[in-house]
A and B are shown apart, each in its own frame.
Chain A
């Protein structure tokens, strides 16, 4: 099947620094990408999404970059806060067959 993988399983950053979480995907036909945040004991929470016809999208303190040439997705969190500590997943959606794939997740720890 298709694979959506993450480059680093864990990431530790100092409070106030910027965080970058990466994701590789394998299907160049993917249409839609989403980043989710999952805190302990909770379900995933939508952070930001991007369509395949875009390269960059910004939200509040978060930016998603899509590089279709190398099939790479990244999530940038500005001024990381302790409340950002969580597992972050990227998800890849293929409109053909409406298939939905998650990456394995990166655990972000913010050091006060």
Chain B
């Protein structure tokens, strides 16, 4: 069974731009969660989507948004990028949600200049 895939793996943007990251979950998994990982803050939960609906949300500003498609693939969008948005963005998929075993992708490394 293929694992969680994320594209692109690396991305460089400038302040003020917007970015869209993509995540393809493990086949059959309906839950996709997104996380931000930085050296200073560690891993932080962004949001979770289940069956195309946002089910849970962490404490991030509205510039961070996402969506999930009918095939469970998910996208995350960050608008008006700030330098502090530079991070590794990870997505994870699971059958039932964040209280179920989650399988992480390799992440997208975003650098904001």
Residues of A within 8 A of B66 (CB): none
Instruction: Name the residue in B4, B35, B102 with the highest tally of chain A Cβ atoms < 10 Å from its Cβ.
Output: B102
Interface string of B27-46 (1 = CB under 8 A from A): 00000010100000011110
Task: Output the nearest chain A residue to B44 by Cβ-Cβ distance.
Answer: A102
Interface string of A82-112 (1 = CB under 8 A from B): 0000000101010101111111110000000
Identify which of A46, A97, A102, A104 contacts B101 (C-beta below 8 A).
Answer: A46
Tell me the smallest distance from the CB of B36 to a CB of chain A, in Å.
Answer: 10
Contact B45 A101 (CB under 8 A): yes
Alpha-carbon separation in the docked complex, A41 to B59 (Å): 26
Interface string of B72-106 (1 = CB under 8 A from A): 00000000000000000010100001110111111
User: Which bucket holds chain B's interface residue count?
Assistant: 20 to 34
Identify which of B55, B92, B97 contacts A43 (C-beta below 8 A).
Answer: B92
Tell me the smallest distance from the CB of A42 to a CB of chain B, in Å.
Answer: 6
Knowing A98-B48, A98-B56 touch, does A42 contact B106 (C-beta < 8 A)? yes
Alpha-carbon separation in the docked complex, A89 to B106 (Å): 16
Contact B42 A100 (CB under 8 A): no
Q: Is B58 an interface residue when CB atoms closer than 8 A count as contact?
A: yes
Task: Output the nearest chain A residue to B41 by Cβ-Cβ distance.
Answer: A104
List chain A positions with a Cβ less than 8 A from chain B. 1, 31-32, 36, 41-46, 49, 89, 91, 93, 95, 97-105
8 A–B pairs (Cβ distance < 8 Å), ordered by A: A32-B99, A42-B106, A98-B55, A98-B56, A100-B58, A102-B43, A102-B44, A104-B42
